[in-house]
Amino acid sequence: MMDRARHRRLAWIAGLALLAWGSSGILHTVITRVGPQLADVRPPAPAMDLAGARAFGAVLTQAGVRETRAVRIVATADGAHLQVTESAEAPRRYFDLRTGAERPDYDRAQAIYLARHYLGRADLAVVSARLQQTFDRDYVPVNRLLPVWRIDFADAAGTSVWIYTETGALALASDRTKRGLQRVFELVHTWSWMPPGLEWLRVAVMFALVGCIAITAVLGLRLRWRRRGGTWSGRPGRAWHRRAALPLVVPLFALAGSGLYHLVHEAGAEADTNLTLAPPVAVGAATYPLFDVWNEVTAGLAVAGVSLVALPDGGLYYRLALAPSCGRPEPADATTLRDARFDGVPLTGPAVYLDARTGEPLAEGDRAVALALARGFVPAQAEGIETASLVTRFSPTYDFRNKRLPVWQVDVGAPLEASYFIDTATGVLADVRSRHGRREALVFSYLHKWNFLMPLGRTVQNTVVVGVVGLMVLLVAALGLRLRRGPDRPHRAGDSARKPRGAADVLPGIELESPVGGHRHEQAAGEARQ
């Protein structure tokens, strides 16, 4: 009876923890489906009628810009402009490609333009627009990208949009309802409200509570195993508790185990990102007048973007990104757009490289450029680069929080054993994942989020997690807590009077296991008579 006593003692703690994390887990699924409705999941495409535009080097030399970290052509409310990123923290600068004139303080206007584009509301009034350099309660570290522009709109829902202008990405869209639900989730599920100095306490308490859930489940399994084939006495709620609990053991251990793994893996992690801009580029060297021969160079090509890429060996190239084979998506319903946002849509396809000094084409393709860029980020002690593969969709190891596709995954050998994700459009290191980090991401994705159901569709996944697992877990916890309030009682009047007398009635204080075919009662009664 030791297992039963322990099971009952832990029931309050485990049941309350299960109720809290189960209900807040369901809430997270709700959060992904509420909030502002998007009209598009891609930034606007710049017009590529660039014949006669000024060379990058000439424009930036005139402006006194000697070095930059990223240079590309982007779509703006005033047509295609040259966007220049000088540092990871400063607002980006914009130049007219025809005249070379700079648009002062234009990054704010660009962010507002992009926010309205994603919402499909060109006339939506803006309450405020500010550059955000740090994470806060509304824009939490899980979003990764910084700095971002926060745009607050004057609508009834209190819509706010966070824009990362370097890629034109929508980092986050939220409103008053979604922010409120998110705070409840953080309060109950992640405990991110605890100050950084108490991170050890957060991990320890959460570990102990999840451990209680696991131990309670193990003890319940032991009791169930020892009673197999027997009859169940007591209140009807106890029978329902046992029936519902058994099929939930596997998902319960999957959720608890993956949650603990994620908790320990993320404990003490810095609230920042692996995103690293390319080394400074001497843009004055980009002297080839590409746009004077634009029509001849691009004849027969569907060019979707132009940027400047510097390789570690000193090479400097115009990168002409071609349109993806899938093209731009047609307007779709809310579910399709939401799925496209989480799954990822590549903004460009293959690329053509021209020497920014001479105009000579680069024989190697995008893969060779990705490998060359990776060598500039990989520490010298790494044994070598093993493989390079194109990533066109988000996955557990490179998820939608990066907001950047396509990228190249470059796998590096010992002692790093890591994957580097390279954006060849501007030479940016988008993310780094160690082998252990990839393993943890896969475990968390498949055992905690149940993304193994994604081939059936996100709606099916949500239905299973919420409707089948989530509600059943809450049912088991609620029944268990209700039964914990008092001792077993017969569920029908008169049952105790008709109950046959056994050894436990003769010798008070002796507790016996439930009978299996009556043999244990007979054995105990015989021992008592002796």
Which portions of the chain are predicted below pLDDT 70? 1-4, 6-8, 224, 226-241, 244, 268-273, 326-334, 380-383, 471-472, 475, 479-530
Q: How far is 384 from 375, CA to CA, in rounded Å?
A: 9
pLDDT 10s digits, 44-70: 999 899 999 998 988 999 899 988 999
The residue type found at 433 is: R
Q: Are 162 and 11 in contact (CB under 8 A)?
A: no
Predicted local distance difference test score (pLDDT) of residue 114:
97
| Predicted TM-score (pTM) of this structure | 0.83
Predicted local distance difference test score (pLDDT) of residue 270:
59
Predicted local distance difference test score (pLDDT) of residue 240:
67
What residue has token string 């049941």? Answer: 15
**Which of 350, 349, 449, 351 lies closest to 399, judged by CA?**
449
Q: Are 472 and 244 in contact (CB under 8 A)?
A: yes
Residues counted in the chain: 530
| Gyration radius of the chain over CA positions | 30
**Which of 334, 376, 372, 340 lies closest to 353, judged by CA?**
372
Look up residue 291 and give its two tokens.
């746009």
Predicted local distance difference test score (pLDDT) of residue 381:
59
Which alpha helices (H) appear in 187-235, and where do they start and end? 199-226
Sign of the CA dihedral 365, 370, 373, 375? Answer: negative
Cα 46 to the chain's mean position, in Å? 29
What residue has token string 């295609």? Answer: 80
